[in-house]
Structure 1
């Protein structure tokens, strides 16, 4: 039960603030003119938001139920999670958070939210390279190195990686 509770708390604290509260502070969630006057960008924003929300829910559930831990570094997973969306990209949780932010930027026509999304991606990228990947390599050794060699950090594979092969 602890992994589920911890994961739900972390979901509201981290992505809730980063992808919800701060974009709200920036945009007021007010719909402005479509970026560049291109109305379909607004609908693209809705699609990106929906996909980001589904991906975020899937990744958080997978951490709690499969990894038996949380995304929080203080209570990490017991096992390396390489199933579901993790078969396509190594960092789907971060991809989901950035998608939520960028989707809002497109929906609300907010360049400031889009810039914030780019800044968050850069911060996350530096965190992944500087902390997360070395920590996973130490924690999971050859299993992580094999996963890392087969699944890209940010750009999804077109076909899912099969850890059994």
Structure 2
């Protein structure tokens, strides 16, 4: 039953939060109309699509980790029972936010839109503020030393590829 609630809650939250930030608002800003042609347009478009696809795949993977490992949702109103430290969370603490940034930046590249580029900067700054002032203090209060140790070992925004030592957070998730 907990897993079914986690699936349903995560699907709703996926549509509402990232769906709005990555889908609805970029459409409202750009109406999916490409900007003027630029040199190396083909390369820019290809890089943009790679960012979009990798961003969406990362976002879906991260949501799945919340369901399977955390037994909850990414939504603050339906938190996980367990700290999520597996999957992509082994390499970066905020893969969902990184994924959203990648998807928006990809859209800006594909559509050659400076408005979407400005929107990406605003979203990125908003995410950083939310994480710093709300999310990390809340996680520290909820998970204590497990989160503190995880935070010391895993970077917030730029993935550290490779292996890291198993932590107490990993052990409690197992």
TM-score, structure 2 length as denominator? 0.90
Deviation at 1:18? Answer: 0.6
Structure 1 distance, partners of 2:120, 2:106, is 9
Alignment-derived partner of residue 16 in structure 1: 19
Deviation at 1:31? Answer: 2.1
Structure 2 distance, partners of 1:143, 1:153, is 16
Query: Residue 98 and residue 138 in structure 1: after superposition, are their counterparts in 2 closer, same or farther (change >3 A)?
Result: same
Which of 128, 142, 145 is the matching residue for 2:145? 142
Per-residue deviation, residues 115-134 of structure 1 (Å, max 9, x unmatched): 10111010000000000000
Which of 140, 144, 156 is the matching residue for 1:153? 156
Structure 2 distance, partners of 1:8, 1:16, is 10
Alignment-derived partner of residue 97 in structure 1: 100
Deviation at 1:164? Answer: 4.8
Structure 2 distance, partners of 1:127, 1:164, is 25
Q: What 5-or-longer segments of structure 1 have no aligned partner?
A: none
Runs of 4 or more above 3 Å deviation: none
Alignment-derived partner of residue 38 in structure 1: 40
Q: Does 1:76 align with 2:79?
A: yes
Contact kept, 8 Å, 2:92 with 2:155, in 1: the verdict is: yes
Alignment-derived partner of residue 52 in structure 1: 55
SS at match of 2:77: coil
SS at match of 2:144: helix
TM-score, structure 1 length as denominator? 0.95
**Cα-Cα RMSD:** 1.3
Per-residue deviation, residues 56-104 of structure 1 (Å, max 9, x unmatched): 0100011011100101100011100000000010000111111111110
Structure 2 distance, partners of 1:78, 1:7, is 14
Contact kept, 8 Å, 2:58 with 2:99, in 1: the verdict is: yes
Q: Does 1:117 align with 2:117?
A: no
